[in-house]
Amino acid sequence: MKKNKLLKQFDSIWEKAEKRNNELGAVFGFDQNSGARFHKIFTTSISKNDNNRFFTMGIYDSINKKYALFDSINLSGNYRYNKNNDPVEFNHMLDLIKSD
């Protein structure tokens, strides 16, 4: 799977999380002024050149205290990932956003 494709998919998931954060405090009884419900997690590997091959991205739900992470290092030689399919972790992120 290409890095750009993964980043675009994650950006679209994060847009949904931001939209959920903005609509009525994201959950019944949640004070919107106290902070966002969903938080973005994004880190890259530290290297001397600009070719950061490995990165971690995810979403943290501050109400349910749950998170979903995708680490691109898992793509290198891991049998459970198929380059033609979306990573399972992206579905977990969407489930977090849809949960109440």
Could you list the pLDDT tens digit for every one of the 100 residues in the chain? Answer: 567 788 899 999 999 999 988 875 655 556 656 678 889 999 886 665 656 667 889 999 988 899 999 887 766 666 666 777 888 899 999 999 988 7
Judge residue 36's burial from the number of C-beta atoms within 10 Å of its C-beta, 0-12 exposed, 13-18 middle, 19 or more buried. Answer: middle
The whole-number pLDDT of residue 57 equals 92
Whole-structure pTM value: 0.78
The whole-number pLDDT of residue 80 equals 65
The whole-number pLDDT of residue 24 equals 58
DSSP the chain: --HHHHHHHHHHHHHHHHHHHHSTTSSTT--GGG--SEEEEEEE---SSS----EEEEEEETTTTEEEEEEGGGGTT-TT--TTS--HHHHHHHHHHH--
